[in-house]
Amino acid sequence: MKKEEVEKKPGGSLKKEMRVRPIGQGTVIDHIRGGQALNVLKILGIYGTTEAVVSVAMNVPSKVLVFKDIVKVEGRELEQKEVDRISLIAPDATINIIRDFEVIEKYRVDLPERIDGVVKCNNPNCISNTHEPVISKFMVNKKPVELRCVYCDHVISEGIAEHLI
Amino acid sequence: MSRHIISMKDFSRDEIDFILNRAREFEPIARGNKSSLLSGKILATLFYEPSTRTRLSFETAMKRLGGDVIDLGPVESSSVAKGETLADTIRVIGNYADAIVLRHPREGAARMAAEYSNIPIINAGDGAGHHPTQTLLDLYTIMRESSLSDMRIALVGDLKYGRTVHSLAYALSLYHADMTLISPKQLQMPDVIKKDLKKQGARISETTNIEDVIGDIDVLYVTRIQKERFPDPAEYQKVAGIYRVTEELLGKARDNLIIMHPMPRVDEIDPSVDTTKYARYFQQSFYGVPVRMTLLAMAMEVI
């Protein structure tokens, strides 16, 4: 967990203010590429009507990424499928599982070799975009991140977030 | 060896060589010698798109090997018209036949069909995707009429939408062919395919004129610019009839040049070229039969 940061308020006085409050139970997704936090929320199915306590920090200065986003979701530990999805749009992200205010598990996301039912093929004529009972399947190239449709061979290399199901 | 035949990428160079060598043994049967190799076997041909030579050459191959053929009939009067999914059709036909030849307008249809099928699926073209049996007969034609080693080949025409050339170019890369891609700028081979070919170690150059290379090549592979693949008819009109192989053009050709075409042709090859020593496109259509015989026999596990 990052320590809370000290900010100087206008007017000169120093005031301790937490950018994002610590969470007792849940998941912190750190090192999300700047600008991708809202897509991460989309992947997690978090919309305006969600009851969970969610904190989002965007464009936080970062040594590694220059700017990073952070998402904290209280009361929820991410499932592997959710982590797979996040890895597509935030390949540098780290997942911190929190229990009783302690990080009990911390790991970097890792792109799986194949990803099923997560991304829609961008080829409108692909069999996976029909009423056939198939889910989309892609082979994953890690560097650069490219998805190749198992059915039609089309490659998605840019704007992966736009194709998330 | 029973298996689905979906894409050239599923074949190793050794497997391709095996198929081409076995096809040579089937040639006398393709010419009419009796065989009962596939007697008692049934092939189902499911063509969701029109086809003449692919369907007929599969039927010929099956019948000359003593087997029977059943077909879907016109799609509009079949269960497909009632809204049946391909996944269901495949599972139903799997109870009747020993193998399925499938042509479908959607890319990836054959791959999906293979996931549902309990009998071998042979892909006879899936939209703008793969058409491996065409590629194998193309390779066989080159082997029989020219040579697959140290070959210089030019692929001409629609290299963007043409499914045959993508599969063929991939297979040629396994033979380290020297390839020249000839097309108008708007019909160039997609970058993603060129990247794949280069990864395989293919030597590729590009031009827009046949004249640039006609004197340096062993094989001229001409394709039709297919109107039905163009999303915009105006784009088609811009490039229709742009290439035409004539006797005059062939004045600069090497003696051993062969001209191939997957057929049907429209106006890409002048009819006067048919009687020159270079024309091989009719032999090429014939070679589809022994190659498909080999594939059927492999799919039905008799070789």
Residues of B in contact with A154 (CB under 8 A): 107
CB B4 within 8 A of CB B120: yes
Q: Is residue B36 part of a domain?
A: yes
Nearest to A126 among B7, B108, B192 (CB): B108
Containing structural domain, residue A138: 114-163
> Do B106 and A133 count as a contact with CB atoms less than 8 A apart?
no
Q: Is residue B3 part of a domain?
A: no
Q: Which residue of A has its CA nearest to B110?
A: A151
Which of B6, B48, B85, B107 has the highest number of chain A CBs within 10 A, making it the mutation to test binding with A?
A: B107
| Residue A151 and residue A77 share a domain | no
Residues of A in contact with B107 (CB under 8 A): 123, 125-127, 151-154
| Residue A12 and residue A76 share a domain | yes
Q: Is residue B270 part of a domain?
A: yes
pLDDT score of B1? 42
Task: State the pLDDT confidence band at B227, using cuts at 50, 70 and 90.
Answer: confident
| Residue B242 and residue B293 share a domain | no
| Residue A59 and residue A120 share a domain | no
pLDDT beneath 70, residues of chain A: 1-20
How far does B132 lie from chain A, in Å, by closest CA? 14
Q: Output the average pLDDT for chain B.
A: 93
Helical packing angle, B281-299 and B53-64, nearest 10°: 50
| Residue A137 and residue A77 share a domain | no
| Residue B103 and residue B146 share a domain | no
How far does A88 lie from chain B, in Å, by closest CA? 20
> Do A132 and B85 count as a contact with CB atoms less than 8 A apart?
yes
| Residue A125 and residue A61 share a domain | no
CATH assignment of the domain containing B228: 3.40.50.1370
Q: Is residue B1 part of a domain?
A: no
Q: Which residue of A has its CA nearest to B195?
A: A155
- The domain total for chain A is 2
Question: What pairing do the DSSP bridges indicate for beta strands B258-260 and B219-222?
Answer: parallel
| Residue B42 and residue B31 share a domain | yes
pLDDT score of A31? 95
Q: Is residue A100 part of a domain?
A: yes
| Residue B279 and residue B196 share a domain | yes
| Residue B192 and residue B136 share a domain | yes
pLDDT score of A16? 59
CATH assignment of the domain containing A127: 2.30.30.20
Residues of B in contact with A155 (CB under 8 A): 192
- Calpha distance B58→B41 (Å, rounded): 14
How far does B190 lie from chain A, in Å, by closest CA? 11
pLDDT score of B48? 93
How far does B115 lie from chain A, in Å, by closest CA? 10
Q: State pLDDT tens for residues B47-101.
A: 998 888 899 999 999 999 999 999 988 777 788 888 899 999 999 999 999 999 9
Q: State pLDDT tens for residues B3-37.
A: 899 999 999 999 999 999 999 999 999 999 999 99
| Residue B176 and residue B109 share a domain | no
Q: Looking at this predicted complex, what is its ipTM?
A: 0.90
CB B274 within 8 A of CB B258: no
Residues of B in contact with A133 (CB under 8 A): 85, 87
> Do B107 and A127 count as a contact with CB atoms less than 8 A apart?
yes
| Residue A97 and residue A119 share a domain | no
Nearest to B106 among A127, A133, A154 (CB): A127
pLDDT score of A2? 44
| Residue A45 and residue A72 share a domain | yes
| Residue B251 and residue B152 share a domain | yes
Residues of B in contact with A156 (CB under 8 A): none
Last residue of a domain, one of A71, A90, A108: A108
| Residue A82 and residue A38 share a domain | yes
Q: Is residue B2 part of a domain?
A: no
Q: State pLDDT tens for residues B263-284.
A: 999 999 999 999 999 999 999 9
DSSP state of B120: -
- Calpha distance B14→B137 (Å, rounded): 16
Q: Is residue A1 part of a domain?
A: no
| Residue A120 and residue A39 share a domain | no
pLDDT score of B236? 87
Residue B142 has pLDDT above 70, yes or no: yes
Containing structural domain, residue B112: 8-130+287-299
| Residue B233 and residue B136 share a domain | yes
| Residue A158 and residue A136 share a domain | yes
Task: State the pLDDT confidence band at B2, using cuts at 50, 70 and 90.
Answer: low
Size of interface A-B (CB pairs under 8 A): 52
DSSP string, B30-63: HTT----TTTT-EEEEEESS--SHHHHHHHHHHH
Task: State the pLDDT confidence band at B233, using cuts at 50, 70 and 90.
Answer: confident
| Residue B87 and residue B36 share a domain | yes
Q: Which residue of A has its CA nearest to B190?
A: A154
Q: State pLDDT tens for residues B178-193.
A: 999 999 998 999 888 8
pLDDT score of B231? 79
Cα atoms in the 13 Å half-sphere on the side-chain side of B18: 10
The residues pairing with A26 across neighbouring beta strands, listed in sequence order, are: A74, A98
Residues of A in contact with B90 (CB under 8 A): none
- Calpha distance B169→B159 (Å, rounded): 10
Residues of A in contact with B112 (CB under 8 A): 127-128, 132, 134, 151
What is the rounded average pLDDT of the residues B128-155?
Answer: 96
- Calpha distance A71→B40 (Å, rounded): 64
- The domain total for chain B is 2
Residue B129 has pLDDT above 90, yes or no: no
